[in-house]
Amino acid sequence: MSRRSGQNGYFSRKGNQWHVRFYIDVPGQEKRKRLSIPVCPISGPGKKTLPERIRRAKEIINASGANSEEHFNRVEAANLGLTFGQQAERCLKESQSRKRKPVKPKTVCCWRSIIKVWLEDLGPMPLASVDNLAMKELVSKLHKAGQSPNSIRNVTNVVKMVVASAKNEQGEELFHRKWNHEFIDMPLIVREELNTPTFSAEEVSRIVAEPGKYKMLYILLAATGMRIGEAMALPVSRVVDNCTPSRSSTPIGRDSSVPPSTTQNVTSTYLKRLRPRSASILAGARTGMYSKRIPDARTASTT
């Protein structure tokens, strides 16, 4: 499409009418189709001057989409027979193999799960047909299944990602979608209504007071505010007595061929910020003793 300068068409006479003739891309055909559209009478009422005919011819050509990049990309994709499922698989593979910001295997696993569970109906659909109407039907399906607004957003984001990943040889998107959330009826996310359960210091104290092999883990999570994935990626052998990671740690589920993430930096930040409190708690846990009241992470960070 970048090599095309755009058509102006040319005029031909048919009876008492001026016609503009031009070419347009048609799905399923390698060669373009030639169209002939009436412009105005040659004589009598409605007759136009040459500049008026040229202007009217351009309006007709532009309205047909013959000079539209979006129409060209849609036809090109249809001729390739590209489906949503095929592009989704290609998108997931490229997201891991690319050199610029490769995606974690765990993230790709989540995307695959979303595609398998919720986007199975879109799999055989031509990628050119995945538009606002298809997205509206998907959102309605998710809403009827009882999915929360946040879950609906996560599913629709995968659809948008797959559609945007389809590119031509010049690296340009085949489908420039302008997603209309009003038409799609995308539910709004109200942060006050999000399900974000938290434990108070008293509740944490009761949890760690119970005997069990995970007591040390519970104390570590409560004292540092660390995520479970970050804690699982930090073996005890990599923590010295002053609660500082001795070397980098690899998150659970991460392929060794993928560059390390910021887990070590995040963990170091937690432990440095809470070192006095967490050191005493961890030391007590090692000797079988622990604080009856676990300090809140935000309180500890300011003390």
Angle in degrees, CA 108, 109, 112, rounded to 5: 85
Single out the residue of 74, 113, 71, 78 nearest to residue 92, CA to CA: 113
**Which residues partner with 37 through β-bridges?**
20
Residue 229's contacts (CB-CB under 8 Å, 6 or more residues apart) are: 251, 252, 253, 263
Same-domain status, 95 and 60: no
Same-domain status, 217 and 245: yes
Counted residue by residue, the chain has a size of: 303
Q: Is the per-residue pLDDT at 31 higher than 70? A: yes
Same-domain status, 57 and 147: no
Is 216:285 a contact under the CB 8 Å cutoff? Answer: yes
Q: What total number of domains does the chain contain? A: 3
3-class secondary-structure state, position 260: coil
Residue in this structure with the two tokens 């010295």, named with its chain if needed: 240
Q: How much is the pLDDT for 221?
A: 81
Same-domain status, 114 and 52: no
Residue where a domain terminates, one of 193, 215, 232: 193
Q: Is the per-residue pLDDT at 280 higher than 70? A: no
Q: How much is the pLDDT for 103?
A: 92
Number of Cα atoms under 13 Å in the Cβ half of residue 163 = 23
CA 125 to chain CA mean position, Å: 19
Summarize pLDDT for 81-97 with one digit per residue, the tens.
Answer: 788 999 999 999 999 99
Is 48:56 a contact under the CB 8 Å cutoff? Answer: yes
Q: Let me know if residue 1 belongs to a domain.
A: no
Amino acid in position 62? N
Confidence of residue 298 (pLDDT cuts 50, 70, 90): very low
Q: Is the per-residue pLDDT at 266 higher than 80? A: no
Task: List the end-to-end C-alpha distance of the chain, in Å, as a whole number.
Answer: 63
Q: Is the per-residue pLDDT at 14 higher than 80? A: yes
Q: Let me know if residue 5 belongs to a domain.
A: no
Same-domain status, 100 and 44: no
3-class secondary-structure state, position 49: coil
β-pairing, 17-24 vs 33-41, is: antiparallel
For the beta carbon of residue 302, count every other beta carbon within 10 angstroms: 8
> What does the alpha-carbon distance between residue 121 and residue 138 come to, in Å, rounded to a whole number?
9
Packing angle, helices 149-165 and 84-97, rounded to 10: 90
Same-domain status, 173 and 205: no
Mean pLDDT of 236-263: 49
Mean pLDDT of 165-181: 86
Q: Let me know if residue 3 belongs to a domain.
A: no
Is 87:162 a contact under the CB 8 Å cutoff? Answer: yes
Q: What percentage of residues in the chain have a pLDDT greater than 70?
A: 71
3-class secondary-structure state, position 202: helix
Q: Let me know if residue 272 belongs to a domain.
A: yes
Confidence of residue 32 (pLDDT cuts 50, 70, 90): confident
3-class secondary-structure state, position 207: helix
Is 267:245 a contact under the CB 8 Å cutoff? Answer: yes
Confidence of residue 265 (pLDDT cuts 50, 70, 90): low
Same-domain status, 211 and 128: no
Q: What percentage of residues in the chain have a pLDDT greater than 90?
A: 35
**How much is the mean pLDDT over the chain?**
77
Summarize pLDDT for 176-194 with one digit per residue, the tens.
Answer: 889 999 999 999 988 777 7
50 or 172, higher pLDDT: 50
- Domain span including residue 213: 201-301
Single out the residue of 138, 129, 182, 183 nearest to residue 157, CA to CA: 138
Q: How much is the pLDDT for 141?
A: 95
Mean pLDDT of 37-55: 91
Single out the residue of 264, 200, 281 nearest to residue 229, CA to CA: 264
Summarize pLDDT for 91-126 with one digit per residue, the tens.
Answer: 999 999 999 999 989 899 999 999 999 999 999 988
